[in-house]
Amino acid sequence: MIRFEEVSVTYEGAAEPTVRGVDFEVPEGELVLLVGPSGVGKSTVLGAVSGLVPHFTGGTLRGRVTVAGRDTRTHRPRELADVVGTVGQDPLAHFVTDTVEDELAYGMESLGLAPEVMRRRVEETLDLLGLADLRDRPIATLSGGQQQRVAIGSVLTPHPQVLVLDEPTSALDPAAAEEVLAVLQRLVHDLGTTVLLAEHRLERVVQYADRVVLLPSPGAAPLHGDPAELMSVSPVYPPVVDLGRLAGWSPLPLTVRDARRRAADLRERLAARVAAGSRADAAAGSRADAAEGSRAAVAGGSRAAAAAGSRAAGAARVGAAAPRQRGQATPPPAETSTAPALRRLFRRRPTPTPELSRQHIAEIRSLAVRRDRITALRHIDLTVAPGETVALMGRNGAGKSTLLGSLVGLVEPTAGTVHVGGAVPHRTPPRDLVRRVGLVPQEPRDLLYADTVAAECTAADRDADAAPGTCRALVSELLPDITDDTHPRDLSEGQRLALALAVVLAARPPLLLLDEPTRGLDYAAKARLVTVLRALAAEGHAIVLATHDVELAAEIAHRVVLLADGEVIADGPTAEIVVSSPSYAPQVTKILAPQPWLTVTEVRDALASPPTTAQARKAHAREAQA
């Protein structure tokens, strides 16, 4: 149904093709997953199917791409629209109407479908994607994830033969992502729809793929084949595969269910380490307590970011409040023999110190926010302490971005108070506010205005009063391959995010806010982001990130705050909140339950430590037998 024949794409001004040797076929009625590191050319390959490359992007396409027999070089995107439905990375760029219902109907109207068919499909899609309550809403007032649902819905209603989707779940909450993938699978199985889909969060999608196409590195020819086989050689892979590789499982499991069936031995080996670890835990505890005083002094030294100038409106920085690990809605997990070891592992994370907690970088009291007629937040009490990393999680539209907006003064409280570093954000001049708080918005483009990466970084250093080269060094740290003279518009999604992050981080704000910071990032870039954020937290910066990425939260957050319908429904240590929630538990937790492990790194570290107990000897004996 989709056919690439020796395709290469060279963008204008580029010395080398961005992709080359692309030669594969997607048969009718299959779901093919396109994977590869950030900036490797996934969107370019997808664009060649919908005709956006090269018709809209410019550049030269060599070779041949056909969709349902039509050559995409001789057919412009609108001449393909009756067979191909496309969702790009930026839904806003695709909307043609103003309201949800109109947008869902638009594609069908242009194909001239009968009104009663249109009506039925709009209703079905509203239900399928949880959009019924939003049907009359102006699209501009929707949250990021709500917009992504509309974008997906609008290409589903005309029932195209081919769907091309670029990171369709990047802004969706975990449950919505599952629902969307279930819908896609149903279209593939029941209607024979052909789907080509690129995604970074492989933990969400790999189990749905009939085949995988892997772009291993820039300019290298893609590999294609069976998902499990390709995952064993791919540079990008989900935690379930990482764990499978670590444990030496073959064939590699791609689902939590398959991995659980293999995990009995691993659980036993870990139980032995945990038993050994729990004694070390007691000793480490007293050492950690002694160290806390001195760490407080270091953290207090974190440099408040300096001047801000033109960037003031976009980038803000804040200070906040103390950690309360209440775990309101979630009962504490039952004590298991592994809990002390888990606490020991957590202790390696930078822990907020009691001295600093009293300073409260951010403090929110009885906050309510109405946006138009919508109550976006109500009864919010929240404090954030220096050195603390808080993950804000919750369904699409729960109020996460609104909460971040209130901390940088972009959103005014309807009732209640917000203080950041002692100031009231919406009444504080931007130049002053940026010394307290910085926000990396959900759409990084909002922060970028220069013509080149280099110029953007020079401006960022100047605005932040940072040493020349600070921002550029951060960009390279996050994504090494970005060149100085690239226009930010031509960066891939992940590259643009890395740049926006570097721009804000150059000012080293005491309170750093990140809205969906792993959208478009591959696992390596995510790991580098985690390293950068951990270092900032260890220096005493407070970090609040709104995220749907449960793996990121497990990796980095000390504390998770769950929002539902504008209210805080749980607030507590990460392990407590996520372990008790099927939606928010990371893959490793699900695979190794009832042991409360969160990440592959924790498992790897534990396996590297020597087992010493009788339990360990027993486990060894069993391992040897096996």
Ligand X SMILES: Nc1ncnc2c1ncn2[C@@H]1O[C@H](COP(=O)(O)OP(=O)(O)OP(=O)(O)O)[C@@H](O)[C@H]1O
Tell me whether residue 141 or residue 609 sits nearer to ligand X (CB atom). 141
Tell me whether residue 131 or residue 187 sits nearer to ligand X (CB atom). 131
Closest distance between ligand X and the C-beta of residue 568, in Å?
Answer: 12
The residue type found at 556 is: I
Closest distance between ligand X and the C-beta of residue 128, in Å?
Answer: 17
Dihedral angle, C-alpha 318, 321, 325, 329, nearest 10 °: -70
* Whole-angstrom distance, CA of residue 43 vs CA of residue 167: 9
Q: How far is CA 462 from the centre of its chain?
A: 29
Closest distance between ligand X and the C-beta of residue 195, in Å?
Answer: 17
Closest distance between ligand X and the C-beta of residue 612, in Å?
Answer: 45
Closest distance between ligand X and the C-beta of residue 380, in Å?
Answer: 11
Helix axes 239-247, 600-608, angle to 10 degrees: 20
Closest distance between ligand X and the C-beta of residue 104, in Å?
Answer: 16
Please give the structure tokens belonging to residue 136.
């009359």
Tell me whether residue 288 or residue 374 sits nearer to ligand X (CB atom). 374
Is the Cα torsion angle 109, 111, 117, 123 positive or negative in sign? negative
The sheet with strand 542-546 has its strands ordered as: 437-440, 511-515, 542-546, 389-393, 559-564, 567-573
DSSP, collapsed to helix, strand or coil, labels residue 167 as: coil
Tell me whether residue 19 or residue 67 sits nearer to ligand X (CB atom). 19
* Whole-angstrom distance, CA of residue 426 vs CA of residue 307: 18
Tell me whether residue 303 or residue 370 sits nearer to ligand X (CB atom). 370
Tell me whether residue 236 or residue 619 sits nearer to ligand X (CB atom). 236
Positions in the binding site for ligand X (CB under 6 A): 11, 18, 36, 38-44, 57, 141-146, 171, 173, 371-372, 374, 376, 394, 396-402, 486, 490-495, 520, 546
Chain position whose Cβ is nearest to ligand X: 145
Closest distance between ligand X and the C-beta of residue 529, in Å?
Answer: 13
* Whole-angstrom distance, CA of residue 471 vs CA of residue 460: 7
Burial 245-275 (b: 16+ CB within 10 A, else e): eebebeebbbbbebbbebbeebbbbbbbbbb
Closest distance between ligand X and the C-beta of residue 172, in Å?
Answer: 8
Please give the structure tokens belonging to residue 290.
């002694």
Residue 188 is given by DSSP the state I
Tell me whether residue 160 or residue 394 sits nearer to ligand X (CB atom). 394
Tell me whether residue 383 or residue 492 sits nearer to ligand X (CB atom). 492
DSSP, collapsed to helix, strand or coil, labels residue 31 as: strand
Backbone φ, ψ for residue 83 (5° rounding): -110, -30
